[in-house]
Amino acid sequence: MSLPEMFSEPLLEIRDLSIDFHTPEGHHRAVDGLNLNLQPGEVMGLVGESGSGKSISAKSIMRMLPSNAELTPQSRIRLHTGKHWVNVNALHGRDLRLVRGGQVSMIFQEPMASFAPAIRVGDQVVETIQLHTGADYASARRQGIELFDRVGIRQPEKRFDQYVFELSGGMRQRAMIALALSTRPRLLIADEPTTALDVTVQAQVLELMLELREQFGMAMLFITHDLGVISRIADNLTVMQQGRVVESGSCNKVLFAPEHDYTRRLLDALPQLDNLPPAPAKTPAPLVSIRDLSIRYPASGPGQQPFQAVSGIDLDLPAGQIIGLVGESGSGKTSLGKALLGAAPISQGEVCYRFDSPLTLSAGRRVRRKPLARMAQLVFQDPYSSLNPRMTVRDIIAEPLLALGLCRNKAEVDQRVLEVARRCHLDVTHLRRFPHAFSGGQRQRISIARALVVNPRFIVADEAVAALDVSIQADILALLKSLRDEMGLTILFISHDLSVVANLCDHVCVMQHGQLVEQGSVRDIFLNPQQAYTRTLIGAIPTLQPPAERALPVAIEVSPRA
């Protein structure tokens, strides 16, 4: 039985939605005539390239558009509360708050920017539960810790009382998911909810979302660039390009019998696991040697214990190769990458760079910042928090050139910025804009351009393509390969997306609980993994497959909400 037959009335109805942005460059239409119906309990996938209008369409449902965005007069968004229809565009004050966060909740793409940095994460969850359910503090805290546990956060009681900056990227995203689910909304808008999650936790979170969908009749608008994830969770699929819907229908039909050329291009750009690169003919000399490296963070507060993030790593990173570093969130990947650049404390061991002028990092040794930054750069995991909101994109990309004194005049700086912007597929007419004016994927390209602008010999790319749609992701991966081939660039590629690692890297290292548990060529690791942990990671890779039959219960009891 189809969803429209099961439910006489939709939960969400969008008609003729058009959104205009007023920018210094002029008028820009970001969404043009969107029509969408969402039934109770339905999972609607919304896909398209970065900048296609997916996120801004979702934010319009929450009335969270930026000040320079405007809905056209004919735009209509209606939500059924379980009792009656409400015109979302006309809501204000208390009525808007009851819908935003109560009836409709949202998992944002960038959790670091979604949590207040000076308030413990758990307190923010408790406040939300109390505001929308009326629960007392003890009950709200108990519910929040239980949700932390259900979304895969280890030691949930401890993490509940930490600040957002004390959590890894994956943990922040899981905490954001727990916060959004805490009020048991009728509609959950999930904007790239699994982007920062490793494959095993991703599978767990998707299962949780589907379980809550069936338990509470919760509908989902699921925005992602990962078509493998969409094939696992969505009932229906809408494809957007440049603000317009180009194709829609059942998930099966759109993914396996696409009609539009744009949809076919998205599918063709998906990384494949059936064409692994051959093992390198010979192992080059290492550019970076890591010996007995350990990273220990001091206690975060009274009564807390120091945290051992990395223990006894021995690893060589061959010159001119791309080395993948994989493992679950919290396994120590990011800490190791930061330590290589002098941005995390080395408590034991050393890192030796074999540049023309050798450099060594070790415990107690002062880092020579400028020589290291000239040769080694970092692409951050969270582009929003790593880009200065008060600087234009041009100035952000130019900043390393100025700090290191690599250009003689402004003309040289501008020329280099233009070159690297084009290589990273940034629109050079937008270089005078500020970071908030860009989508998550576009911000990540800005971060990559900033790292490449000094022509480094070594790059640590921490989830560098996690926020990119598949077609731009494919372009950036091709760019990284060309940089390796043309410049002999060495890249440590940290990622939870094993399908990307399989298609990009020459060598793979697997981390678990701060230790290196397995390493080898891409073919060795993916075709003949030796460790059970590695086999689990590979087995959880989301691949494009027909969605399983997930018939909704015929009678979903949805209690009316106040």
Q: What is the SS3 assignment for 5?
A: helix
> Please, which residues bridge with residue 257 across strands?
none
For 8-22, what is each residue's pLDDT tens digit? 578 999 999 999 998
Lowest mean pLDDT among 13-17, 21-25, 173-177, 527-531: 21-25
The secondary structure of 202-270, three-state, reads HHHHHHHHHHHHHHHCCEEEEECCCHHHHHHHCCEEEEEECCEEEEEEEHHHHHHCCCCHHHHHHHHCC
Q: Which residue has the tokens 């070790």?
A: 362
Pick the residue with more confidence: 513 or 84? 513
pLDDT over 90 (residue 432): yes
Q: Rounded distance, CA 380 to CA 188, Å?
A: 28
Q: What is the dihedral of CA 141, 143, 149, 154, to 10 degrees?
A: 0
- Full strand arrangement of the beta sheet holding 490-494: 376-379, 458-462, 490-494, 322-326, 507-512, 515-521
Q: Classify burial at 138, counting beta carbons within 10 Å of its beta carbon; exposed 0-12, middle 13-18, buried 19 or more.
A: exposed
pLDDT over 90 (residue 145): yes
For 271-312, what is each residue's pLDDT tens digit? 777 777 777 777 789 999 999 999 999 887 777 788 899 999
CB atoms within 10 A of CB 531: 13
Among residues 429, 423, 431, the alpha carbon closest in space to that of 398 is found at 431
Q: What is the SS3 assignment for 87?
A: strand
Please give the DSSP secondary-structure letter assigned to residue 275. S
pLDDT band, residue 556 (cuts 50/70/90) = very low
Please give the DSSP secondary-structure letter assigned to residue 100. B
Spatial contact of 376 and 459, defined as CB atoms under 8 Å apart: yes
Spatial contact of 460 and 372, defined as CB atoms under 8 Å apart: no
Q: What pLDDT, on the 0 to 100 scale, is given for residue 546?
A: 62
Pick the residue with more confidence: 47 or 540? 47
Among residues 379, 396, 343, the alpha carbon closest in space to that of 451 is found at 379
Q: Which residue has the tokens 């990309």?
A: 397
**Average pLDDT over the chain, rounded to whole?**
86
Residue 448 sits at the vertex; the CA angle it makes with 283 and 291, to the nearest 5 degrees, is 40
Spatial contact of 284 and 318, defined as CB atoms under 8 Å apart: yes
Q: What percent of the chain has pLDDT over 90?
A: 48
For 19-40, what is each residue's pLDDT tens digit? 999 877 778 899 999 999 999 9
pLDDT over 50 (residue 458): yes
pLDDT band, residue 560 (cuts 50/70/90) = very low
Spatial contact of 383 and 467, defined as CB atoms under 8 Å apart: yes
Q: What pLDDT, on the 0 to 100 scale, is given for residue 545?
A: 64
Show the domains of the chain with their CATH numbers: 10-268 (3.40.50.300), 286-539 (3.40.50.300)
Spatial contact of 47 and 230, defined as CB atoms under 8 Å apart: yes
Spatial contact of 44 and 221, defined as CB atoms under 8 Å apart: yes
Please give the DSSP secondary-structure letter assigned to residue 527. H
Sign, Cα dihedral of 424, 430, 432, 436? negative
Q: What pLDDT, on the 0 to 100 scale, is given for residue 238?
A: 95
Strand runs labelled E in 269-342: 286-297, 307-318, 322-326
Q: Rounded distance, CA 210 to CA 227, Å?
A: 17
Q: Rounded distance, CA 259 to CA 77, Å?
A: 28
DSSP labels for 466-503? TTS-HHHHHHHHHHHHHHHHHH--EEEEE-S-HHHHHH
User: Within 13 Å and on the Cβ side, how many CA atoms surround 196?
Assistant: 28
Q: Rounded distance, CA 237 to CA 252, Å?
A: 9
Helix (H), strand (E) counts: the chain: 21, 21
Among residues 237, 216, 218, 215, the alpha carbon closest in space to that of 226 is found at 237
Report the amino acid identity of residue 6.
M
Q: What pLDDT, on the 0 to 100 scale, is given for residue 224?
A: 86
- Phi, psi (degrees; rounded to nearest 5) at 443: -65, -35
For 474-526, what is each residue's pLDDT tens digit? 777 888 888 888 888 999 999 888 888 988 999 999 999 999 999 999 999 99
Q: What pLDDT, on the 0 to 100 scale, is given for residue 194?
A: 79
Pick the residue with more confidence: 370 or 466? 370
Residues 218-240, mean pLDDT to the nearest whole number: 89
Question: Residue length, the chain?
Answer: 562
Residues 226-245, mean pLDDT to the nearest whole number: 90
Q: What pLDDT, on the 0 to 100 scale, is given for residue 559?
A: 33
Residues 165-189, mean pLDDT to the nearest whole number: 86
pLDDT band, residue 6 (cuts 50/70/90) = very low
pLDDT over 50 (residue 4): no
Q: What pLDDT, on the 0 to 100 scale, is given for residue 549?
A: 44
